[in-house]
Amino acid sequence: MQNFIGGEWQDAESGAWYERENPARTRDIIGRAPLSDARDVDRAVAAAKAAYPAWRAMSAPARGAILHRAADCLAAKGPDLAVLMARETGKPIVEAEAEAVRAADILRFFAAEAERSFGEVYEGRDAQALLYTRRTPLGVVGIISPWNFPLAIPAWKIAPSLVFGNTVVFKPSREAAHTAGAFVACLAEAGLPPGVLNLVVGGGETIGQAIAAHPDVVAVSFTGSNAVGSTLAQTLTARGAKIQLELGGKNPAVVLADADLDLATELIVLGAVQNAGQRCTATSRVIVERDVYEPLRERLLERFSEITVGDPLDRGTLVGPLVSAQRLKAVLGMMARGEAEGAKRLYGGERLSGPGGEDGYFVRPALFDAVSPESVLAQEEIFGPVLSIIPVRDFEEGIAVANGVRYGLSAAVFTNRLDRALAFAERIDAGVVRINGQTAGVEPHVPFGGMKASSSYSREQGRAAIEFFTQTKTVTIRPPSVS
């Protein structure tokens, strides 16, 4: 695959490239992709800057019409895109197909944003005047996205950027560049003018940083790790650029004594292991009231033993490989640290070989018990299929433990009691709260983001997107003379 700059597919200026392997069978090479550097970022930003005046001058519904056509393209190519995504990132095919549909839905939601309000009318102090606000675009925005939702996250950042009149420099994760290329191709085929959306592929340290440092990039929206997010934030805030960060999670599912344990078991396990736990919204802590600790533990153990780990292209697979050798090493290392701290491994956690005994980055989903709320397994984001059980005395202690981490992205409670459900929704530090639901999974039309170290206080998706991707102009119009 190639970069896409100013409407042209092209190699990196340096001519350098890397090979992306299938994480389920490392000898299967997906293809090669450019290793870009600051020169490619400069060209992409220049193209986006040149395209900006005409793009912002186009009517919003005309911009939306292009997004509608791109959604049609994504829907038509969905099955092929899902196979590419599964091969490139290891996402199981059933999840990958659902994500392709979701990406098209996201594009359609934002296409329709063009036909909703871009401002408000007020009554002013001057009765003769028309006083209104208008949402105007920012300019050239940078989009830096991860590999775990290689279509949905680019869609929910790029679609609002475009419909509100910005032009874009897009840097996808190295591990998902081919899927990103296919997404950009749909937007190009839908008639996006050259330079409005530019794709630059390569290492984050090089080009992510070059995008953040570029004086013509006025805003950056980033989803990824806290470490990278804070480096980008320093560069961006130092030069006064606008920033949106979606970072890690350590999401709890609190199970109260009156809960439906079968429902809780199913949704907790899916929340923990879908996409091999590589979701910032993954369930990673089960905080359970002592009265139901043993029956819940037995159910979880039984459900874990039924999980099918295998080829992401096989429709029966629930859990595929981790995305890379680096992730596999990190996840195995955290489990070893957890055991050294006294957590008891009830199930899984061992490395597995790929389909047909080939090399792959597989780990058996792991269930830990007797995890202390202070331990690494209870505090740090693992980004792997690892679930820790933390028993608590009662609801009060459950809330305290649930809130006792630096993150605050999503949280679930399982209970039949309305008073407890309402108290949980009120007191939990999380941007997404589910009562008798999974911690993961978000809808395109509602705001998404976290509290504390999980986000930068801004929200993505739905009508919230207009807040980040526009700025408000307040206009007063008076007749030249008053008769």
Residues marked as catalytic: 246, 280
Q: Please answer whether residues 292 and 258 qualify as being in contact, where contact means their C-beta atoms are separated by less than 8 angstroms.
A: no
Minimum CB distance to ligand UN1 smaller for 64 or for 449: 449
384 DSSP 8-state letter: S
User: In Å, how far are 110, 160, 249, 464 from 113, measured between CA atoms?
Assistant: 5, 8, 29, 11
**Binding test (CB under 6 A) with ligand UN1, winner from 30, 401, 440, 466:** 440
At which residue do the structure tokens 């956690």 appear? 349
Nearer to ligand UN1, 152 or 182 (CB): 152
Beta carbons of 21 and 28 less than 8 angstroms apart: yes
Cα angle, residue 480 at apex, residues 479 and 481 outer, rounded to 5°: 95
Residues 142-161 that bind ligand UN1 (CB under 6 A): 146, 148-149
Residue 269: what are its φ and ψ, rounded to 5°? Answer: -65, -45
The four Cα atoms 422, 423, 429, 430 give a dihedral, to 10 degrees, of -20
- Which residues, 189 to 218, sit near ligand UN1 by CB under 6 A? none
Minimum CB distance to ligand UN1, residue 330 (Å): 16
Of 290, 382, 289, the closest CA to residue 336 belongs to 382
Q: Which residues from 279-298 bind ligand UN1, rule CB under 6 A?
A: 279-281
Which of 235/281 has CB closer to ligand UN1? Answer: 281
Q: Which is nearer to ligand UN1, 195 or 271 (CB)?
A: 271
**Locus of tokens 């290689």:** 150
Residues 233/67, Cβ–Cβ less than 8 Å: no
| Residue with smaller CB distance to ligand UN1, 149 or 164 | 149
- Choices 40-48, 306-314, 397-405, 436-444; region in contact with ligand UN1 by CB under 6 A: 436-444
Q: Of 137 and 146, which CB lies nearer to ligand UN1 in the complex structure?
A: 146
Q: Please state the closest distance from residue 134 (CB atom) to ligand UN1, in A.
A: 30
Taking the C-alpha atoms of residue 109 and residue 183, their distance in angstroms, rounded to an integer, is 17
Instruction: Please identify, among the stretches 158-166, 189-197, 275-283, 417-425, the one whose residues bind ligand UN1 according to the rule CB under 6 A.
Output: 275-283
Beta partners for residue 137, in sequence order? 470
262 within 8 A of 303, measured Cβ to Cβ? no
Q: What share of the chain is helix, strand, coil (3-state, %, to 5)?
A: 40, 25, 35
Residue 468, interface with ligand UN1 (CB under 6 A)?
A: no
- How big is the chain, counted in residues? 483
Residues in binding contact with ligand UN1, number by CB under 6 A: 11
* Binding of ligand UN1 by 442 (CB under 6 A): yes
Q: Which of 167, 223, 251, 324 is in the footprint of ligand UN1 by CB under 6 A?
A: 223
Report the nearest approach of ligand UN1 to the CB of residue 204 (Å).
15
Select from 226-234, 352-360, 369-377, 435-443 the region that touches ligand UN1 (CB under 6 A).
435-443
Q: How many Å is the maximal CA-CA distance in the chain?
A: 88
Minimum CB separation of residue 344 from ligand UN1 in Å reads: 28
Q: Interface with ligand UN1 includes 441 (CB under 6 A)?
A: yes
User: Pairing between strand 386-392 and 283-289?
Assistant: parallel
Q: Least Å distance between CB 158 and ligand UN1? A: 15
Binders of ligand UN1 in range 245-264 (CB under 6 A): 246
Question: What is the contact surface with ligand UN1 in residues (CB under 6 A)?
Answer: 146, 148-149, 223, 246, 279-281, 440-442
